[in-house]
Amino acid sequence: MPDETDDKVHDQVKAARDNGAPELYANGLGVALGSSDVLLVLEKNKLPIGVVNLSFTTAKSLAVALGSIIAELELRADREILTNDDITNLFTREEESGDGDVLATH
């Protein structure tokens, strides 16, 4: 059942689309810390597609919100979502052990 937060996000998405805000899909990222903000580089297939500068407060709020929603997904799915680093380490271990035939890395 939708709550007020769902309605607010729905309204934010609608307003963004109505105003022509770009919609991006990312499957990778880079994060850097500046002296006054956090820099987020969005990547698609290892190519940069966008840069977002976030204040420390907004970056922390984003981290908390993402952590919460992913935790809810993992709870409902009864499984842990792997991070990009988890998957990279999995491939690295398989290549080192000679089991790389199972998952292609090229």
Confidence of residue 92 (pLDDT cuts 50, 70, 90): confident
For residue 49, pLDDT over 50 is answered with yes
For residue 33, pLDDT over 80 is answered with yes
Write the CB contacts of 27 (distance below 8 Å, at least 6 apart in sequence).
43, 44, 45
Distance CA 10, CA 79 (A): 27
Q: Report the amino acid identity of residue 21.
A: A
Total number of residues shown for the chain:
106
Q: What is the dihedral of CA 6, 9, 14, 16, to 10 degrees?
A: -170
Confidence of residue 57 (pLDDT cuts 50, 70, 90): very high
HEC assignment per residue over 29-43: EEEEECCCCEEEEEE
pLDDT in tens, 58-69: 999 999 999 999
For residue 98, pLDDT over 60 is answered with yes
pTM recorded for the entire structure: 0.75
Confidence of residue 100 (pLDDT cuts 50, 70, 90): low
Question: Under a CB-based contact definition with an 8 Å cutoff, are residues 20 and 5 in contact?
Answer: no
